[in-house]
Chain A
Amino acid sequence: GDSVTQMEGPVTLSEEAFLTINCTYTATGYPSLFWYVQYPGEGLQLLLKATKADDKGSNKGFEATYRKETTSFHLEKGSVQVSDSAVYFCALSDYSGAGSYQLTFGKGTKLSVIP
């Protein structure tokens, strides 16, 4: 089946550092790709998405580009803040038949930003 592989964490960065979290996927079709963020004690929140090749999703200074040729969707931010400390999940939409889709998630990457 389809799957998502994320870089293992935890990742610790100083404030204002550049962030990259790698994500690659395996899919038989052409999935939509997503990044979700989970703050401590909360549910997952949609951060950004891209629905076709070469699309760039962006939100709150985070960006990710859907690269079909490398089956990747790496998350980047130019200058992280302490408030960005969270767990980040890469996900793809997975067709399960009967017209239904579910999201398949990577294992998550924990980011800690220190002042």
Chain B
Amino acid sequence: DSGVTQTPKHLITATGQRVTLRCSPRSGDLSVYWYQQSLDQGLQFLIQYYNGEERAKGNILERFSAQQFPDLHSELNLSSLELGDSALYFCASNPVVDANYGYTFGSGTRLTVV
């Protein structure tokens, strides 16, 4: 157990629907990162939050949004889902904004859009 908790583990939904993925960072970690992992694109950075504020955006679609709450858990909202959004979505956390720190990853949410 890495200490980063992601729910649900699996999600199957239809095209056009909206889903919410949840992440609880490791105790004491203030930064949360969201990544999308697909076979063709590999691991793509989506968005970062630090202590409740958005810090950086990567290749995140406009249909996707995220937030970090006062208790530091984060949610990734995916709307108007398309077949191509099927992927593994990982959350990671670390305690500080520092280039030398690695991340602690959760075990991911596997999203299947049918």
Contacts and interface: CB of A to CB of B under 8 A. Distances in A.
Contacts of B107: 41-43
Interface in B2-19: 2, 4
Interface residues of B, number: 24
A46 B94 CA distance: 12
A95 interface: yes
A106 B41 CA distance: 10
A45 B100 contact: no
A103 B45 contact: yes
Contacts of B106: 43
B114 interface: no
A100 B50 CA distance: 9
Nearest to B105: A43
A37 B108 CA distance: 14
Interface residues of A, number: 28
Nearest to B2: A43
A102 B98 CA distance: 9
Contacts of A34: 102
A103 B48 CA distance: 11
B45 A104 contact: yes
Interface string A82-101: 00000001000101111111
